[in-house]
Amino acid sequence: MPDKMQEEILDIVSMVVEKEKKQIPLDAHLIQEVGADSMMALEILAALEKKYRIVIPEEKLKEMTTVNRIIAMAKAARKK
Amino acid sequence: MSKQLRSLEIEEIKKLIPQRFPFLMIDRVLEASPEKVVAIKNVTANEPFFPGHFPDQKIMPGVLLIEAMAQAGIILYRQKFPNDKLLFLVSVKARFYAPVIPGDQIRIKVVPIKLMSKMGMEKAELFVGDKKVAECELSFGSQDAKT
């Protein structure tokens, strides 16, 4: 169910960066445009690992630049 | 080597964490592995913070309980990444259940939530005897973690 996962991930991002969901466009750069930092990226990553019981390696952190990319990454990790 | 459970005494602990008197909050490590660290601190009436906290009732400050959990957290991080990076506390979510007073031996248990080379998140619990007196989730990063 792709839409459910998108909504859940947006909830996590919104909670961690402390912004409302409508302030976070799916393609906005989280650090440059939304105001997140690398520690928030780690919190998002840890929340995803817990929620979906996946393991995301450290190298993937750099790729977590937008909500869309995070969704794609979580889906890919889930299939493994 | 680091996979094995091992205990550490104070001189070995000082090699792993940079804090010194009056801010060294770990006396001994009972177990150290990349999956879990268990450490103890003995709280005595002579602690330097007790004259001010409070003059008529000695209670170990909650922020120092967090400090003890964070220092055990540094030891946990170094089990996986044996470097000497200075780590900065970034966020703490803590809850306290009971006061810690002179005579208590606090046992600190820390496990990783996610550990990376430049940053990490950990979960710590603090016990006196069998009673849990505090717990916290903490995240930290090294100075070069900022993007």
pLDDT in tens, B17-35: 999 999 999 999 999 999 9
Q: What is the mean pLDDT of residues B63-84?
A: 97
Distance CA B8, CA A18 (A): 40
All structural domains of chain B with their residue ranges: 6-142
- Residue B1 CB-density burial (10 A; 0-12 exposed, 13-18 middle, 19+ buried): exposed
Tokens 């005595």, residue located:
B44
* Exposed/middle/buried for residue A18 (C-beta within 10 Å: 0-12, 13-18, 19+): exposed
Give the CATH fold of the B6-142 domain.
Thiol Ester Dehydrase; Chain A (3.10.129)
ipTM score of the complex? 0.85
Residue B38 clears pLDDT 90, i.e. is over it: yes
pLDDT in tens, B77-96: 999 999 999 999 999 999 99
- Please check the confidence at residue B3 and state whether its pLDDT lies above 80: no
CA distance A31 to B147: 9
Q: How confident is the model at residue A17 (pLDDT cuts 50, 70, 90)?
A: very high
Distances (CA, A) of B34 to A60, B14, B16, B29, B140: 21, 18, 14, 13, 16
Give the pair of three-digit tokens for residue B90: 């970034």
Q: Which of A37, A38, A49 sits opposite B114 (nearest CB)?
A: A49
Instruction: Write down the pTM of the prediction.
Output: 0.91
Within an 8 Å CB–CB cutoff, is residue A46 touching chain B? Answer: yes
pLDDT above 70 coverage of chain A, percent: 98
Q: Within a 13 Å sphere around the CA of B80, how many CA atoms are in the beta-carbon half?
A: 19
Element (H, E) at B58: none
Contact A33, A26 (CB under 8 A): no
Instruction: Find out whether B3 and B33 touch, Cβ atoms under 8 Å.
Output: yes
Selected residue of A18, A29, A39, A52 to mutate for chain B interface (largest B Cβ count, 10 A): A39
CATH code assigned to A2-79: 1.10.1200.10
Instruction: Measure CB to CB from residue A39 to each of B90, B113, B117 and give the nearest one.
Output: B90
